[in-house]
Every structure is written in structure tokens, then in C-alpha cells.
Chain A
Amino acid sequence: VANINKATEGKDEVPILDLMESAIEAGPGFRNSGGGHYNHAFFWSEMAPPDEAAKTKPSEQLQSLIDKSFGSTDEMKAAFEARAAPGAVFGSGWVWVCVNQAGDELKLVGTPNQDNPLMKGAVEEGIIFPILGLDVWEHAYYLKYQNR
């Protein structure tokens, strides 16, 4: 947060989604710190304490997209876990479930460092919209899981 504020100091305020779209072109400060801020804010908002999380489930619309794109929730989870497995990501990065531009299919993608699929040029599918992300930087899991 500190670093993206430094990078944007004195400039006109830009909506965060626009900041994300041009983040790769705008340079490492925007890409790494802007991306890092967006990704973590997104990450915190998608999680909840276990007992609260247990009370939630995908909406009908989301479930039908999951079934259409992956076959079933279990198959989506298996594909997601494979994408996030050690050696699947060659370093720091994130794994995302995204909805495509047309809104009719879900895609599973990975991005390095603090890139995300909202950034032009980040993933080969073009700009797509994350609905679920997993931080696989070592800092996200090292204290609890070490290398596991």
C-alpha cells in the first residue's frame, strides 16, 4: 500500500480497475505494488472464519458456471489444486478462478509475482475477471505449512 501510494502521489486519482488494466505498461511500481495491493485486498475479502464460511455456498448462477466449465465443484477443486501445486508455479505467484468477458465460462489461470488477470497482457486469455484467488507466495503459508 505504501509503495503504490508513493508511485501515484501527486497524480489524478484513477479507478482501481483502470489502474490494474494498465499496470504492466505503467511499470514495476504499479505492477508489483498496485497489483500486490489489489490482490491482497481481494484475497482478504474472499475469506471468512471457518464456521461462517461453512454457512455459505455458491449461488445457482455460479454453480451452473462451475458445472459447465469444470464438470463439478470437486473437479474444479482438483484442477485448482493441481494449478497451485509445488512445481506448477515456478516461484511466487497467484492462482485464479476467473469469469470470461462474455460471462458464460470460468477459466483457471496462474500469474507470476503480483500480476493478476485484470492486467492487459497478464494472461493469454486477455483481460478476465477473478472471482477467487489463492496467494502461493511462500509468505502466505510458510509459518504454518513450511514447504508443504
Chain B
Amino acid sequence: MILKALGDKAVRAATVHVQSSKIPTELAKSSTALFSAYSGGAATLPDLPYDYNALEPAISTETMTLHHSKHHNTYVTNLNVGLEKLDAALSSGDVSGLIALQGAIKFNGGGHVNHALFWENLAAPDSTTVGPETTAALAASSFGDLATLQSTMSAQTVAVQGSGWGWLGYNPQSKQLQIATCPNQDPLQATTGLIPLLGIDVWEHAYYVDYRNVRPDYVKNIWNVINWNAVEERLIAAKK
């Protein structure tokens, strides 16, 4: 029961968009996978909403295969190990043990949440367009338009030192769009309070096979495979 509660908390950040009334079938499928991922206390690797080759040429089949079936899978496996240990420490009242687990939970739990969000905010090239809510939010924000958002977010994401993520988020207090970056696998919502709309993974494993060290080219090209339907759904849900 404790595991499920912990799982639900971690999942909530990733599945806010599920509350929206209109959900494209693929999103619903993978969101359900994420929700049911925590029944019985174990996280599971969600299926991709597309084939491994769907995001070529921006992201290769090889990268998608490694990234999903190896990297994300490892976060899921290690999160489950951590959750088991957490459950044991909770049951025995071992506060010291609980505290000692925090780093691994944040790392693996964050890794799982972040990648689950990531797969859903990617789609085959030119298969989605920016929705009306997103367009309106962009116009009302400091970005003004999509091009400005892209250049600002690209610059900040490329500038991440070491491993981390660039995010477009919704600030529920100011009701504005905001860009943030997080180090390592620190999850956006838990770290900043922003609700994630769109994430870009800039760990080297996300781009090294395709772009070597040229992170700017990867970030430039990833805009061709962004799933604007997912961003729209997440924004609608976040505003509720």
C-alpha cells in the first residue's frame, strides 16, 4: 500500500494530461501503461507510442532502441529495487535507512518520470501542429511566439553543464509558460513546482551516437519531432 502511494505521487507529475477529457489514443495507451505501472508496487517500462525508427532522421533507430530499452529500462529496474528497500525501511521504522535511500530514489524515480514524459512529447516528423491553447499561451507569455520559445529554450538546454534536461513548464501560480533546466534526473515538478509540458534530454546518451559532441545540432533538430498534441493536452490539464 505504501509503495502504491509513493508510486502514485511520482506518477502524478507525469500523467497530469490524463485528466483531460479528449485524449488521442496513443497518449491514452501509454498513460494507462504508466498508471498501471504502479499496481502491486512495481514500476514498469512504458511502451513507446511509435516504432523505434519513427523519429528518423532527427533521432536514429539505434539511439531510440538504446535509450528506451537500455537506459530507461535501467531506471525502472533500479527504481523498483529502491522502492523495495524503501518499503522495508518504512516497515521497520528505519529513518536513517530511509534518508540514505533518497538520492537513489530521486535519481531512478526522476529518470523514470522524465523519460516517460519524453517519449510522449516526441512524434514522427511533421505529424503534429501547435494547438490553440499552446499558441495562446505563447502569445500571452514572455516568449510571444513559437520561434522565440524555440531559440530561448534551445540556448538554455544546450548550456546545461554535464547531464540534465531542458523543460518547458507551466507555472500554476503565475499561470505563465516558463523554461527551466534541471541537472541529472531531477524531476521538474518536484524540483521547481512547474508542471512539465515538454522535455529535452541532454544527457550524452540522448545524442552521442547521432551527433557526437555537437549538442546544438541535436537540440536544433529535435524541434522537428516534437509532439505538439501532447504539449496541448498537458497544458489543458495543467490549467484545470
Contact = CB atoms under 8 A, between A and B. Distances in A.
A10 interface: no
Interface in A86-108: 86-87, 90-93
Given A137-B204, A139-B204, A139-B213, A146 B70 contact: yes
Interface centre among B66, B74, B108, B184 (most CB of A within 10 A): B184
A147 B162 contact: no
B50 interface: no
Nearest to B103: A90
Contacts of B203: 91, 138
Given A139-B204, A142-B204, A90 B185 contact: yes
17 contacts: A28-B161, A87-B78, A87-B108, A91-B162, A91-B163, A91-B183, A91-B203, A93-B162, A113-B162, A137-B162, A137-B204, A138-B205, A139-B208, A142-B205, A142-B209, A146-B66, A147-B70
Interface residues of B, number: 22
Given A87-B104, A142-B204, A113 B161 contact: yes
A146 B163 CA distance: 16
A147 B205 contact: yes
B164 interface: yes
Contact of B204 (A28, A32, A138): A138
**Top 6 A-B pairs, shortest CB-CB distance:** A92-B162, A138-B204, A91-B184, A91-B163, A113-B162, A147-B70
Interface residues of A, number: 18
A82 to B, nearest CB: 14
Nearest to A87: B78
Nearest to A113: B162
Interface of B: 66, 70-71, 74, 78, 103-104, 107-108, 161-164, 183-185, 203-205, 208-209, 213
A143 interface: yes
B209 A32 contact: no
A90 B185 CA distance: 8
A142 B74 CA distance: 16
Nearest to B183: A91
Contacts of A90: 103, 107, 184-185
Nearest to B107: A90
Contacts of A92: 162-163, 204
A112 interface: yes
A113 B213 CA distance: 15
A39 to B, nearest CB: 12
Given A91-B203, A113-B161, A142-B209, 18 more contacts: A28-B161, A86-B74, A87-B78, A90-B107, A91-B162, A91-B164, A91-B184, A91-B185, A92-B162, A92-B163, A92-B204, A113-B162, A114-B161, A114-B162, A138-B163, A139-B213, A142-B205, A147-B71
